[in-house]
Structure 1
Amino acid sequence: MHSEILISCLEDYLSFNYGDHQEFDVIKALQQPPYNIFAVDALSGSEQLFKTHFVLYNALYLLADRWRASEFATIELALTKITVKEYQKVTNDVEQSTMHKLIEKNSVRSFYLDWENFSLTKADIDDLLSQFWQKFYRYSNNQEWLSNTDLHNADLNLLGLSVPISQRDLKANYKKLAHQHHPDKNGDAELFKQIQSAYVRTLKRVSFSNHFTS
Structure 2
Amino acid sequence: MGDMTDHQAMPETTRSSAATARADQQEALKQKVQHLMIAVESILRARPAGISELDLIRALQAPPWELLETVDFSSPERLYPVHFLTFHALYRLRDDIGGQGEQLSISPLLIRLGPGQGSPATSALAESDKLRAFYLDLDQYALSEQTVSQMMDDFWAGRSGRQPAAGEVSDAAVTLGFDRVPDHFEEVKYRFRRAVMQAHPDRGGRTEDVQALNEAFGVLRVYYVTRDT
Residue 61 to residue 105, structure 1, CA distance change in 2 (3 Å) = closer
Map 1:101-140 → 2, pairs under 5 A: 102=125, 106-130=129-153
- From 38, 41, 57, the equivalent of 2:71 is 41
The equivalent of 1:202 in structure 2 is: none
The residue type equivalent to 1:109 in the other structure is: R
Map 1:57-206 → 2, pairs under 5 A: 57-71=87-101, 73-88=102-117, 102=125, 106-130=129-153, 159=193, 161=197, 162=200, 163-164=202-203, 188-189=222-223
Give the Cα separation in 1 of the matches to 2:47 and 2:109.
17
Give the conservation status (yes or no) of the 8 Å contact 1:18–1:86: no
Q: Report how many residues are paired.
A: 145
User: What SS does the corresponding residue of 1:38 show, helix, strand or coil?
Assistant: coil
The residue type equivalent to 2:44 in the other structure is: L
Give the conservation status (yes or no) of the 8 Å contact 2:156–2:222: no
Give the conservation status (yes or no) of the 8 Å contact 1:43–1:49: yes
Report deviation, 1:51: 0.5
Report deviation, 1:127: 2.8
Give the conservation status (yes or no) of the 8 Å contact 1:76–1:83: yes
Give the conservation status (yes or no) of the 8 Å contact 1:75–1:84: yes
State the identity as a percent: 23
The equivalent of 1:212 in structure 2 is: none
Give the Cα separation in 1 of the matches to 2:140 and 2:49.
29
Give the number of the structure whose alpha-carbon radius of gyration is greater.
2
The answer for unaligned runs of 5 or more in structure 1 is: 139-157, 166-173, 192-214
The residue type equivalent to 1:19 in the other structure is: A
Residue 42 to residue 75, structure 1, CA distance change in 2 (3 Å) = farther
User: What SS does the corresponding residue of 1:85 show, helix, strand or coil?
Assistant: strand
Residue 23 to residue 133, structure 1, CA distance change in 2 (3 Å) = farther
- From 52, 55, 61, the equivalent of 1:22 is 52
Give the conservation status (yes or no) of the 8 Å contact 2:44–2:112: no
User: What SS does the corresponding residue of 1:81 show, helix, strand or coil?
Assistant: coil
- From 25, 41, 46, the equivalent of 1:11 is 41
The answer for unaligned runs of 5 or more in structure 2 is: 1-28, 165-191, 205-212
Give the Cα separation in 1 of the matches to 2:128 and 2:73.
30
Report deviation, 1:63: 0.5
The residue type equivalent to 1:18 in the other structure is: P
Instruction: State the Cα RMSD in Å.
Output: 3.8
